[in-house]
A = this chain, B = another copy of it.
Amino acid sequence: MLLGAIEAGGTKFVCAVGTKKGEILERISFSTTTPEETLKKVMGFFIDKEIKALGIGCFGPIDLDKNSKTYGYITSTPKPGWRNYNILGELKKYFDIPINFDTDVNGAALGEAKWGSGIGLDSLIYLTVGTGIGGGVYIHGNLVHGMTHPETGHIFVGRAEEDKYKGKCPYHGDCLEGMASGPAIEERWGINPYELSKDHIAWDLEAHYLAQGLVNYILIISPKKIILGGGVMKQKQLFPLIRKKVVERLNGYVSHKNILENIDDYIVYPELGDDAGICGALALADLVLC
């Protein structure tokens, strides 16, 4: 039986068909342009595929309240053309199969829980640090939606004293995403983040902000694992910097061996790597059939 998966990102879309075991059999990816043009490419890919269910991990914020008039819409995104766009409604016109629509990061969190770094755990958080910062939250073996859905990238953070950068979030200025997303790094230093040398002070500052986020996640939801993906996290030198700052800040207060002894296994890069998003969408498709 084949499942369909869409990783609907603000930068690019990935569509795939795969199996209940998390294998991707065929995939396509293309840049996100206008909603109409982008969805036409989605339809084109799936037209000759015999899929039994579809999972969509979508950039957001999105409306996940089934009682809401705007259920299935992308809501307050700053991305031109996509604000208040009924993406789920458009897709439903073409697909007469069960659809599971969720945030891209909730999808990735589920994918990592099923097939990646979180196998066997009933609680984890998946954070992507890329064009934006967003987190998927998995608790009690289920994805968290709550009132809307988590937007873990937009929490308050405290500035590093020497950092005068104003922040890039159009809603909050200097929230975590505003200070630590890829575009924030780029604007602050005037250079593409992947061109910065591994020992540039930028990475210590990046770890300063990300560690604050992680400390807050640990204190608020006490996840059993924290998985950090997205383009910026390809800078692997960030991991030891972040882990050290998390331990320092917690300062013994959370006395658990994950923090005190096994931090290297607690804060990790996604096992599924760049496929966390698309495998996550596949996991969403699988979930709707369970």
Contact = CB atoms under 8 A, between A and B. Distances in A.
A146 B219 contact: no
A243 interface: no
Given A123-B146, A156-B212, A172 B253 contact: yes
Nearest to A84: B255
Identical subunits present = 2
Interface in A142-166: 142, 144-159
Contact of A139 (B140, B251, B252): B140
Interface residues of A, number: 48
A61 B254 contact: yes
Contacts of A220: 135, 137, 150, 152, 155, 216-217, 220-221
Residue from the set A217, A222, A223 with the largest chain B CB neighbour count within 10 Å? A222
A221 B219 contact: no
A224 interface: yes
B147 A258 contact: yes
28 contacts: A61-B253, A75-B255, A139-B139, A139-B144, A139-B146, A140-B140, A144-B221, A146-B224, A147-B222, A148-B222, A148-B255, A149-B222, A150-B222, A151-B253, A151-B254, A154-B219, A155-B215, A155-B219, A155-B220, A156-B156, A156-B157, A156-B158, A156-B216, A158-B159, A172-B249, A172-B251, A216-B216, A217-B220
